[in-house]
């Protein structure tokens, strides 16, 4: 209570004092560009993924425009030690995502390299995924995919380096006959998602769908 008075929660965008469970004020919330994608219908991510690997369904919560509030939110989640943002983004996703009759069997997160995980202290996808798992009653696995190489942040790489993802990932065990929902934070070129997806597809008679927090189109 005293901490709430001394250090009140403030809107990430305009600095207005807001409820402790909120991320932004109501006015700034209206500035977030949500995608309004339908999970089971064609959308931008699905068209991009089709060029890279066999894809079932896709969903993105927000657009990731330059200097946008969504970009600031993702940056705070990943680099400012605000893991709780993942739970809030999951709640926003739950309000907008309907699997209908194509509910996946398993939620799978894109991993960090152990060194990066130690530096950051958490994987920004874990709380997000666990919140979705609880609501939709879908099991999750954070350790099915292993990142084999340590690399600098994706945002700091030039385009040429972002395209080099060969042998970056591997599966930790074989898993067959599952429809897996692959979860990542931002979809850019699609090469990271594609690398993970192919490892899942090679593992057995599996199907892959994709869910991301934001799309950089």
> What number is the average pLDDT over the span 45-56?
96
Query: Is the per-residue pLDDT at 163 higher than 50?
Result: no
Tell me which architecture the domain covering 33-215 has in CATH. 3-Layer(aba) Sandwich (3.40)
Residues of the chain above pLDDT 70, percent? 90
DSSP-H helix ranges across the chain? 2-6, 26-29, 44-50, 69-79, 85-94, 114-120, 126-136, 159-162, 191-203
More confident: 168 or 63: 63
First to last CA, the chain: 42
Long-range contacts of 74-82 (CB under 8 A, 24+ apart): 74/185, 74/186, 74/213, 74/214, 76/12, 77/124, 77/185, 78/120, 78/124, 78/153, 78/185, 79/120, 81/121
User: How high does pLDDT run on average in the chain?
Assistant: 91
- Give the model's confidence band at 204: pLDDT under 50 very low, under 70 low, under 90 confident, else very high: confident
pLDDT tens for each residue of 121-150? 999 999 999 999 999 999 999 999 999 988
Domain boundaries, the chain: 1-31, 33-215
Residue recorded with tokens 């997806």 = 197
pLDDT tens for each residue of 2-46? 545 567 999 999 999 999 889 999 999 999 999 999 999 999 999
CA atoms of 200 and 189, how far apart (whole Å): 19
Could you tell me the pTM of the whole model?
0.90
pLDDT tens for each residue of 99-122? 999 999 999 999 999 999 999 999
Q: How would you label 202-211 residue by residue, b for 16+ Cβ within 10 Å and e otherwise?
A: ebeebbbbbb
> Parallel, antiparallel, or unpaired for β 145-147 and 169-171?
antiparallel
């Amino acid at each position: 209570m005293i901490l709430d008075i001394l250090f009140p929660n403030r809107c990430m965008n305009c600095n207005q004092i807001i409820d402790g469970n909120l991320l932004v004020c109501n006015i700034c919330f209206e500035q977030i560009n949500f995608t309004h994608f339908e999970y089971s219908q064609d959308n931008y991510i699905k068209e991009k993924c089709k060029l890279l690997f066999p894809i079932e369904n896709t969903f993105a919560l927000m657009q990731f425009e330059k200097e946008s509030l969504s970009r600031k939110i993702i940056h705070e989640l990943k680099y400012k030690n605000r893991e709780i943002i993942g739970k809030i983004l999951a709640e926003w996703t739950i309000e907008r995502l309907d699997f209908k009759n194509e509910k996946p069997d398993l939620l799978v997160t894109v991993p960090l390299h152990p060194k990066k995980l130690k530096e950051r202290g958490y994987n920004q996808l874990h709380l997000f995924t666990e919140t979705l798992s609880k609501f939709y009653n879908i099991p999750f696995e954070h350790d099915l995919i292993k990142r084999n190489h340590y690399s600098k942040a994706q945002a700091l790489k030039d385009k040429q380096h972002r395209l080099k993802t060969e042998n970056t990932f591997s599966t930790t065990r074989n898993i067959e006959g599952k429809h897996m929902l692959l979860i990542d934070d931002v979809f850019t070129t699609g090469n990271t998602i594609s690398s993970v997806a192919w490892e899942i597809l090679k593992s057995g008679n599996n199907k892959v769908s994709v869910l991301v927090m934001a799309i950089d189109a």
